[in-house]
Amino acid sequence: MNERVAPTDLAPAATLAPQASGGTLPEGHPAVRCGRVGVLLMNLGTPEGTSYWPMRRYLKEFLSDRRVIEVPRLIWWPLLNLVILTKRPGPKGKDYASVWNTERDEGPLKTITRAQAERLQAAMGDTVVVDWAMRYGKPEVSLRIQALLDQGCDRILLVPLYPQYAAATSATACDQAFKALMQMRWQPSVRVSPPYHDDPVYIRAIADSIREGLAKLDFEPEVILTSFHGVPKSYLLKGDPYHCQCVKSGRLIREALGYATDKMRTTFQSRFGNEEWLKPYTDETVKELARSGVKRMAIVAPGFTADCLETLEELDGENRHYFEENGGERFAYIPCLNDSDLGMKVIEHVVARELQGWV
């Protein structure tokens, strides 16, 4: 049998169940936990600390993923191990330190994802067991799947927390779950929630969060950017639907708010290396807007379900500086949905929809 892992504290403990036929277990039969439904929220990940070695371990795991970096290994491995993992952990650790949750000693993505799981568990009650995991770092996907099994979950819904599908996000999270399943004698039945980039509940929640964010400002932005995480253009050309889903989300959000195309624009951030990535680039667009005379702007990141380094440090930090250094005067970053009521409405909607027939 699989090694037992301490169950999560998010849900009530499971009860021992009789065998599937409904009868009592025969004498000497090992204890069986079954008959429950689990939900596993999965997000990208975060380092365990901001110093050199935790950052190096995290970056190595992340940048060794063939879903993330599709450069041939013969070229990529020397570059990764001899250059990137030597130079990048220090500066990246400083970036993480600027947004670190010092009270819990963890990155904001971990804090928020845990809170989302806790709120989802409260909303679902005893109906399901909710847990959460990170693709890179901890808590590990394999251990949390085992924890759900140990609580009697023989049906598990995997929920990649990415509204738009990309091989480098949704697919690699599922890869990690499937690797764990390959090692199990008694596999649970598994469902994977699909991307929800054009779901009306998601679009309304983003639009409402933008309205709420703008209402708190003492200025009206001339331009609002919807900034999505970028990927290399080659991924699009190979058939990844991510770009199309981001553009559609951006258009639907703009239409829900009633803005013209020059008022709300879609851009892509966080490019890495020398390869061409999806355009237009967020940082270059911010600079161009400021240089063209735009004095007031705002940015929102609808592709992120939780604020993290790429939103708090990159958008609200770096891009704020780019705007102000090039002549801009008023800048605002509108937070992600996180574990707000609007954010939880989306997650609860997706989970309830995908649990039909199980719950």
Domain ranges of the chain: 36-195+342-354, 200-334
Closest-CA residue to 278 (of 225, 242, 233, 246): 233
Rg of the chain over all Cα atoms, to the nearest angstrom: 22
Q: Does the structural domain 36-195+342-354 have CATH classification 3.40.50.1400?
A: yes
Inter-helix orientation angle 200-215/341-354, to 10°? 180
Q: Taken in order 52, 54, 60, 63, is the CA torsion positive or negative?
A: negative
Residue with token string 């697919």: 171
User: φ, ψ for residue 347 (rounded to 5)?
Assistant: -60, -45
The answer to whether 72 touches 190, Cβ cutoff 8 Å, is: no
Give residue-wise pLDDT tens across range 2-57. Answer: 444 444 445 444 445 444 445 576 777 666 677 899 999 999 999 999 999 999 99
Q: What is the dihedral of CA 101, 102, 106, 107, to 10 degrees?
A: 30
Give per-residue pLDDT as tens, 334-355: 999 999 999 999 999 999 999 9
pTM of the model: 0.91
Intra-chain end-to-end CA distance of the chain, in Å? 27
**Coil vs helix vs strand at 244:** helix
CA–CA distance, 8 with 16 (Å, rounded to integer): 17
Q: Which CATH architecture has domain 200-334?
A: 3-Layer(aba) Sandwich (3.40)
Q: List, for residues 157-204, the tens digit of each pLDDT value.
A: 999 999 999 999 999 999 999 999 999 999 999 999 999 999 999 999
- So what's the pLDDT on residue 25? 67
Same-fold call for 36-195+342-354 versus 200-334: yes
The per-residue pLDDT for 10 is: 52
As a whole number, the mean pLDDT across the chain is 93
- List, for residues 213-245, the tens digit of each pLDDT value: 999 999 999 999 999 999 999 999 999 999 999
